[in-house]
């Protein structure tokens, strides 16, 4: 018999839906997405609203995440102090290579699948690309260097999900099927780093390396992203890769528990 508490599970699914959708949603829209009755959604929202987990916009009648998540987020960030440890190393790497530096962790949910989430970012205004994900944003793991690293060393991937999922295609270089993804992840493990060669955006090139935690597991990944021509200039890739792997090693030596 399942030990899941149905009402709690429904409430958490609703919260994740609002978070993943990124904007206010109405009762009818939520009911359709979760495939439940509107009356059920309404009762769940009332309960969540009582505890400030959601709020209702009086102008539109729609719902969004409550202010309590801001407070929770501050407490979580204090607990992990991720930026305090990763920040100086990532900023040093940025100074060395002059490109955008991201540190990301892996997240999975049934609606969005495997996503890499940016938990630290280092860049200056002179290196802004047309797609520059912000701190806390997520992207499909199969199209990013950090995502590939996080998938490649993850021993608990949902293989059935990866076999049956519909792979979103961004460019002609995007991996669009299970077999090609598995080959790519094996290549990543063999060479010790991952590449995003214009797989999410034409003109964007990225290299990423795994960050190991105190248990010897990959809990995060760090990347260098920049315009393809600049990243692949004379000896540039080899130089940037050396700096990247050295930075990943420094962070790993801190024996952090990146267990988000």
Q: 126, 119, 75: which is closest to 100 by C-alpha?
A: 126
- 180 and 122 in a common domain: yes
- 245 and 152 in a common domain: yes
Please say which residue of 39, 69, 99 terminates a domain: 69
The rounded distance, in Å, linking the Cα atoms of 92 and 154 is 28
- 102 and 59 in a common domain: no
- 241 and 117 in a common domain: yes
Query: Which structural domain range is residue 37 located in?
Result: 6-69
pLDDT of 192 > 80? The answer is yes
75, part of any domain: no
Residue 140 has what pLDDT? 92
208, part of any domain: yes
Residue 24: what are its φ and ψ, rounded to 5°? Answer: -60, 145
Beta bridge partners of residue 37, listed in sequence order: none
- 215 and 143 in a common domain: yes
- 139 and 224 in a common domain: yes
- 205 and 96 in a common domain: yes
Residue 260 has what pLDDT? 44
Alpha helices of the chain — where are they, by DSSP H?
A: 6-21, 27-34, 38-50, 68-80, 82-97, 145-152, 159-164, 178-191, 228-231, 236-253
Residue 11 has what pLDDT? 93
Least confident span in 44-53, 111-120, 236-245? 111-120
How large a percentage of the chain has pLDDT more than 90? 57
- 168 and 47 in a common domain: no
Least confident span in 2-6, 161-165, 168-172, 210-214? 2-6
What is the band of 1 on the pLDDT scale with cuts at 50, 70, 90? very low
- 62 and 150 in a common domain: no
74, part of any domain: no
Residue 125 has what pLDDT? 46
- 85 and 40 in a common domain: no
- 193 and 158 in a common domain: yes
In the chain, how many domains are there? Answer: 2
Give the Cβ contact number of residue 190 at 10 Å.
8
46, part of any domain: yes
1, part of any domain: no
- 122 and 26 in a common domain: no
Which residue carries 């916009």 as its tokens?
A: 57
* pLDDT tens sequence across 106-156: 888 766 789 998 888 887 645 555 556 677 778 899 999 999 999 999 988
């Amino acid at each position: 018999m399942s030990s899941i508490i149905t009402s709690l599970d429904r409430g958490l699914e609703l919260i994740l839906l609002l978070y993943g959708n990124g904007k206010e949603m109405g009762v009818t829209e939520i009911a359709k997405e979760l495939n439940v009755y509107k009356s059920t959604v309404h009762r769940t929202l009332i309960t969540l609203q009582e505890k400030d987990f959601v709020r209702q916009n009086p102008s539109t009648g729609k719902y969004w995440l409550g202010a309590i998540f801001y407070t929770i987020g501050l407490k979580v960030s204090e607990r992990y102090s991720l930026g305090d440890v990763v920040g100086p190393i990532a900023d040093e790497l940025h100074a060395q290579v002059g490109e955008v530096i991201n540190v990301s962790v892996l997240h999975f949910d049934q609606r969005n699948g495997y996503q890499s989430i940016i938990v630290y970012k280092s860049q200056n205004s002179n290196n802004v690309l047309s797609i520059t994900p912000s701190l806390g944003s997520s992207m499909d793991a199969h199209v990013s260097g950090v995502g590939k690293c996080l998938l490649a060393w993850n021993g608990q991937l949902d293989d059935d999900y990866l076999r049956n999922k519909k792979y979103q295609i961004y460019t002609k270089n995007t991996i669009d099927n299970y077999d090609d993804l598995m080959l790519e992840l094996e290549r990543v493990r063999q060479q010790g780093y991952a590449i995003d060669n214009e797989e999410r955006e034409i003109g964007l090139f990225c290299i990423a390396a795994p960050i190991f935690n105190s248990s010897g597991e990959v809990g995060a990944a760090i990347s260098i992203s920049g315009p393809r021509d600049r990243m692949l200039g004379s000896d540039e890739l080899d130089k940037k890769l050396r700096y990247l792997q050295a930075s990943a090693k420094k962070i790993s030596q801190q024996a952090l528990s990146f267990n988000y």
